């Protein structure tokens, strides 16, 4: 199951629920299509999230979430903690006697909250379709894309995110060297 929610500022959130593996992924993009935040949850048999990780747009883990249920299997509370284990946000859900949900109460605590870094969108690198290699070189003789070790056709491909195949070791991706501020301003190599 998949759905998208669009906001007034032209940003949007895409939610994909896969009950075959009991996982849900939420991706939030800004108005220009750059990934701002990604949430990956484990879900119960009813499709409700139970726990998860929160990543920034550059796929850095920044927080963890835990969901508490009441005796009627309704979401009672969602706690989000930073990587030091300090809860910085708590969302409390209430229900009336007929079971109708009330407005959630959000409580923010004065602890170190994570910083979300947006993804960088690089339109100069072209990724080949899954299962194909690109051999056309760019300037400087560097190939446009390299096949990912352990890649299986059908897996999702996203630039900058490690891909894991069943039984394969994770592929460590190296960050490109950053140019100094002077080289970026004046464009000299």
Q: Flag whether the pTM goes above 0.75.
A: no
Q: What does the pLDDT look like over 104-160, one tens digit per residue?
A: 999 988 877 776 666 665 555 555 555 554 444 433 443 333 333 333 333 333 334
Note whether 86 and 111 are within 8 A (CB). Answer: yes
pLDDT in tens, 70-88: 999 999 999 999 998 888 8
Cα–Cα distance for residue pair 145/124, rounded to 1 Å: 11
How does residue 185 score in pLDDT terms, banded at 50, 70 and 90?
low
**Residue 57: C-alpha distances to residues 35, 129, 161 (Å):** 5, 23, 11
Specify the pLDDT at position 92: 94
Per-chain mean pLDDT for the chain: 75
Q: Mean per-residue pLDDT for 54-66? A: 93
The whole-angstrom separation of Cα 123 and Cα 15 is 25
Give the model's confidence band at 102: pLDDT under 50 very low, under 70 low, under 90 confident, else very high.
very high
pLDDT at 168 over 70: no
Q: Which pLDDT tens digit goes with each residue over 15-43?
A: 999 999 999 999 999 999 999 999 999 99
């Amino acid at each position: 199951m998949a759905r998208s929610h669009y906001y007034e500022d032209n940003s949007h959130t895409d939610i994909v629920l896969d009950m075959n593996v009991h996982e849900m992924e939420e991706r939030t993009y800004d108005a220009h299509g750059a990934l701002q935040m990604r949430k990956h949850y484990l879900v119960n048999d009813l499709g409700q999230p139970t726990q998860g990780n929160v990543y920034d747009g550059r796929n850095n883990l920044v927080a963890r979430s835990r969901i508490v249920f009441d005796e009627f299997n309704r979401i009672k509370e969602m706690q989000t903690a930073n990587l030091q284990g300090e809860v910085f946000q708590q969302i409390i859900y209430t229900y009336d006697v007929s079971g109708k949900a009330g407005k959630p109460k959000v409580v923010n605590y004065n602890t170190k909250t994570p910083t979300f870094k947006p993804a960088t969108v690089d339109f100069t690198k072209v990724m080949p379709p899954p299962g194909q290699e690109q051999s056309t070189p760019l300037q400087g003789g560097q190939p446009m894309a390299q096949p990912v070790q352990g890649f299986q056709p059908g897996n999702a491909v996203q630039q900058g995110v490690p891909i894991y195949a069943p039984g394969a070791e994770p592929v460590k991706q190296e960050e490109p060297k950053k140019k100094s501020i002077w080289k970026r301003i004046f464009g000299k190599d």
